[in-house]
Amino acid sequence: MFFTEPMVACLALYASFTYSLIYLILEVFPIVFKENRKWSLIVSTLPFLSILVGVGCAVFINFANQPRYKRAVKANCGKAVPEVRLPPIIVGGILLSVGLFWFGWTAAPKYPWPQPIAADGGFGYFKLQPNNPATGFIGAGFNIGFQQCLDFLVDTYGPYAASTVSANTILRSVLACAMPMAARPMLLSLEIGPAASLLGGISCAALPVPLLFMRYRRALRRKSKFVDGE
């Protein structure tokens, strides 16, 4: 289905790209904060919290789309309406792109932290850097895009949803394995700004995909062997 269904291929590629970025960042943060900024081991891991905050905030956006989806399903006589899942993907893509560009061009040690945040975790006070909102955007964009892509595939393919999700799982696992190995060579050859901009550019290039699905959804369904043409 990954090779014969355009909707599966496109959404699996996008969902896997956003998923693998989180694994890439697991390798990028130690380089940016520990090696480049010379932070201690514990303090250099604190920016990971911003990803958690971003992922948590994205939950509210995903939930906020549910009433709209329920109204669309009711108007469609109880049948799933996958296209309602697409607008949040655009929101997630914008947040992801903004976060990547923002993080890439403020991560260099020459940029100070103008607004430090003191967090008392029982072990003293630690300063979190202004890059954290950028990585929060990355976390939010990842959660929104990834979740809505899976929901779209489930709504579209119904009884065959397990196969489409499996295709996505295989691809995202491969990319999540490969991307971290590319982190250090990419940062050493391009530096963090251009490297993050490259990823942000890929994210921007994928933004029209949901719009194309909205525009050509009936043609894509007619070409599919597994979904209703309407």
Mean pLDDT of 122-135: 48
Q: Where are the domains of the chain?
A: 6-223
Mean pLDDT of 67-96: 88
- Say what angle helices 48-75 and 131-157 make with each other, to 10 degrees: 30
118 — pLDDT class (breaks 50, 70, 90): very low
What class does CATH assign to 6-223?
Answer: mainly alpha
pLDDT for 132 beyond 70? no
pLDDT for 119 beyond 50? no
Q: Please give the pLDDT value at position 115.
A: 32
Q: Please give the pLDDT value at position 120.
A: 35
Average of per-residue pLDDT values in the chain: 80
**Sequence-ordered list of residues with C-beta below 8 angstroms from that of 163, at least 6 positions apart, any chain:** 1, 157
pLDDT for 126 beyond 70? no
